Amino acid sequence: MAGEQSQKDVLPTNEVYHPGIGSYQQTYRESIEHPEEFWSNQAGILDWHKKWDKVLDDSNPPFFKWFVNGQLNASYNALDRHIKHGKRNKAAYIWVAENGDEKIITYDGLYRRVNIFAKALLDLGIKRGDKIVIYLPMILEAPVAMLAAARIGAVFSFVFAGFGAGALAERINDSKAKMVITADGAFRNGKVIELKKIIDEALELTSTVNTVVVVKRTGSDIQIDEGRDVWWHDVNKDSSVYVEPEWMESNDPLYILYTSGTTGKPKGAVHGNGGYAVWTASTLKWAFNPGDDDRWWCAADIGWVTGHSYIVFAPLFLGLTSIMYEGSITYPAPDRLWAIIERYRVNLIYTSPTAIRTLMRFGEKYPKQHDLSSLKVLGTVGEPINPAAWKWYYENIGHSNCPIIDTYWQTETGGFMIGPQIGLGLPPLKPGSATFPMPGVEPVILDEKGKELKDEEKGYIAYKKPWPGMFLTLNNDPDRYKKVYFEKYPGMYFCGDYAIRDKDGYYWLLGRADEVLNVAGHRLGTIEVEDALISSKEVAESAVFGKPDPVKGEVIAAMVVLKEEFQDDTEIISKLRKRIREDLGAIYVPEEIHIVKSLPKTRSGKIMRRVVKAVALNQLPGDISTLENSASVDEIKEAIEAFSKEAKK
C-alpha cells in the first residue's frame, strides 16, 4: 500500500478543519509525558457519580484498570445528563427503515424507552451482573436494549443478526446468557430474514436462557414458546417509569463482544465502563470533531464493535444526532447511501472501504444524482483503504472538500487507535494511510523477534502502553487474553496486523498477520469455517484461506477432502454451503469450495494452509521441505486450473 501512495499530499481545502498539526503534536506529547494528568482531565468528558482514586492501576499486567473506584453509568451519561442540560428535545436518532419509513426519537424519548425497558428487565428477573444476548437488526429497539441493560448493570452481548444458529449458540453458552432479545424477523434487501427461527434452533443447543423477548418487526409467522417467549410490546406497556441507574465501578463489565481469532472458538472481548466510555467519547471528538448541530451517520451494523462504539455509545455520550439506517446500502438502488445523505442533510459519514468500493463500481452517476453538499467529513473503518477508493470517495462524495478520516482499530481496542484528528489538528492526508496515533497510544513496529524496525520497514504493529478503551479480558479465558495479545512481545499489546511507518511518521496498516480473514471489513476466523466443514459428515479434511478480492478485500476459499464413501459432485458443495450458512451465517459461506484428494501437510500431520493459499493464488509455496505429501501441491494446482477453466466458460 505504502508503495501506491501519491507523491503529493492531499490537503483538504476546507480551512475550518485544520487548525494545524502543531496542536495535535502538543496534545499527543502531553498524553505520553503526563498520562495521569492528561487522562484525569479527559475523563471530565463524562459525568461521574464518584470520582476515581487512581487513573491507572498497572500493578497486575496485562490486567490494567482505569479510573479505579470511579463510579458511573453509561446510560446516565448517554441520556440523563443531556435531559438535564437542555437536550431533552434534541433528536438522538433519525431512524430510516429499508422501505423508507422514518422515525425520529429525541433524547427524552430514548430516555423514557430505556427506563421502561430497564424496568421490564428487572421485572423479568434480570439483575446487575446477569448476561443478556441481543440478536437484533438495525432497529431502535437495539440501542434501547443495550442502554437498558447498561442502566441496570446487566452485561449484554450483541450477536450480529447475520450469524447462524451454531455461532449464536456458542456465544450464548460462553456468556451463560439468561435472556435473549430478538425480533420476529429482519428486513434486508427487500426480503425477510427469519431471526426468531434461528433463535429457536440455537436454543436447542443451549440451556441457560429462561426468557426470549421478541420485537415484532416483520410480522412473520413465528412459534411462541409460552413459558419462555414474551413480546417486546407486552413488556413495554408502561408509559413512564424511572429506574435509578446502577452505579458501576469503572472496571465492571459493560458488554462482551465476540470476535474471531486463530482457533475455532471465538474470543469474548469484555469491555468495561469507565475507560471505554472515556475512550469512545474522546476519540470521536478528536477524530471527527462533530458539532452540536451536526448530523452524524455511522453506517456500520450495530452488531459489530463499530456500531457499539460509534452508533450507540460515543455519539450519545456527546449528545449528537445520529442517522440509523435499517437496510442494505444498495437497496432499492445503489444510490441509497447518497439519497439518505441528501434527504437528512448528513454532515459526517463513516463507512467501510468495502462499501465505498461496492458503490464505486456502480459509477459516479449515482452520487451525481444527489446534493451531497451537507457533507463536511468522510470516515472509513475496518480494513485498509486502497488509494483508488480513497480518491473516489474524496472526489466524488466529498467534492475534494472533506477530509477522509481513516480510523484503524479493533474490537479489542474499544475505539480508534490511529487516525487523523480534526479536533486536535488535521495533518496533510495521504490516501491509504491512517496517519497518526490517538493521544495515549504508542505504536511500535517490530520484527518477529521484537526488534524495533526503522521507518519504511514492514513489521508487526504493537502498542507499548495500555490505553483507557482497551478490553479488560477475554470472557472465561484470562489465559488466552495473556497468551494471544501479550506473550509475543512481553509488556506490549500485539495487534495481529502488519504495518509500516513512513519517513514522515505516518502509519500504513497492511492487513492481518495471522490466519484471521478480513472479509468486507468483518473479521472472520479460517478455523471456524474449517470446523464447520469438518463437522459435515461428508468431509474428512479442509483448509480455508482468504483470496484477495477487489471489492471485499478478501473472500473465503476452501479446499476439502471428502471421506472415501462420498463422491465429488456439485450437490455436496451446495450442501456444504447451506450447512455453513445455517451454522455460522451467510458471511462465512466460501465464495469457492474445491474438492481435492489430499492436502499438503507437515510431517507431524498439520495442514499447511500457507502452501494451499500460495498454490491457489498461483504464487510459489515457499519452503515445502517439511511437507509429508508434496504430490498434493500439484493436485491443488490442477484443481485450481480446472476451476478457473470452468469459471471462464
Residues that bind ligand PRX (CB under 6 A): 259, 305-306, 381-384, 406-411, 434, 495-497, 509, 511-512, 518, 523
Write the CB contacts of 237 (distance below 8 Å, at least 6 apart in sequence). none
Residue 268 C-beta: closest distance to ligand PRX, Å: 13
Residue 340 C-beta: closest distance to ligand PRX, Å: 21
Residue 60 C-beta: closest distance to ligand PRX, Å: 25
Q: Which is nearer to ligand PRX, 158 or 366 (CB)?
A: 158
Residue 496 C-beta: closest distance to ligand PRX, Å: 6
Report the distance separating Cα 286 and Cα 496, nearest Å. Answer: 25
Residue 522 C-beta: closest distance to ligand PRX, Å: 6
Handedness of CA 512, 515, 516, 517 (dihedral sign): positive
* Alpha helical stretches, state H, 535-594: 570-583
Residue 409 C-beta: closest distance to ligand PRX, Å: 5
Helix (H, G, I), strand (E, B), or coil: what is residue 588? helix
Helix (H, G, I), strand (E, B), or coil: what is residue 251? coil
Q: Which is nearer to ligand PRX, 321 or 518 (CB)?
A: 518
- φ, ψ for residue 268 (rounded to 5)? -90, 95
Residue 263 C-beta: closest distance to ligand PRX, Å: 16
Q: Which is nearer to ligand PRX, 178 or 523 (CB)?
A: 523
Residue 516 C-beta: closest distance to ligand PRX, Å: 8
Note if the bond before 35 is cis, omega within 30 degrees: no
Report the distance separating Cα 509 and Cα 501, nearest Å. Answer: 9
The x, y and z cell numbers of residue 3, run together, are 508503495
Residue 412 C-beta: closest distance to ligand PRX, Å: 7
Residue 366 C-beta: closest distance to ligand PRX, Å: 24
The region that residue 190 occupies, defined by phi over 0 for left and psi between -120 and 50 for alpha, beta otherwise, is left
Report the distance separating Cα 646 and Cα 649, nearest Å. Answer: 5
Q: Which is nearer to ligand PRX, 66 or 460 (CB)?
A: 460
Sequence-ordered strand ranges (E) for 568-637: 592-596
On whether the CB atoms of residues 487 and 225 are closer than 8 A, the answer is no
Q: Which is nearer to ligand PRX, 18 or 523 (CB)?
A: 523
Q: Which is nearer to ligand PRX, 67 or 258 (CB)?
A: 258
Which long-range contacts does 95-98 make (Cβ < 8 Å, 24+ apart)? 95/139, 95/140, 95/323, 95/324, 95/325, 95/326, 96/323, 96/324, 96/325, 96/326, 96/340, 96/344, 97/187, 97/326, 97/327, 98/187, 98/188, 98/190, 98/325, 98/326, 98/327, 98/328, 98/331
Element holding 367 (H helix, E strand): helix 365-368
Q: Which is nearer to ligand PRX, 289 or 309 (CB)?
A: 309
Q: Which is nearer to ligand PRX, 164 or 496 (CB)?
A: 496
Instruction: For helices 526-534 and 570-583, give the axis angle rounded to 10 degrees.
Output: 120
Report the distance separating Cα 85 and Cα 99, nearest Å. Answer: 35
Q: Which is nearer to ligand PRX, 20 or 548 (CB)?
A: 548
Quick count: other Cβ atoms within 10 Å of Cβ 357? 22
Q: Which is nearer to ligand PRX, 121 or 418 (CB)?
A: 418
Instruction: For helices 141-152 and 107-123, give the axis angle rounded to 10 degrees.
Output: 60
For β-strands 473-474 and 131-135, DSSP reports them as unpaired
The widest CA-to-CA distance across the chain, in whole angstroms, is 73
Q: Which is nearer to ligand PRX, 322 or 380 (CB)?
A: 380
Residue 474 C-beta: closest distance to ligand PRX, Å: 13
Q: Which is nearer to ligand PRX, 39 or 498 (CB)?
A: 498
Residue 547 C-beta: closest distance to ligand PRX, Å: 17
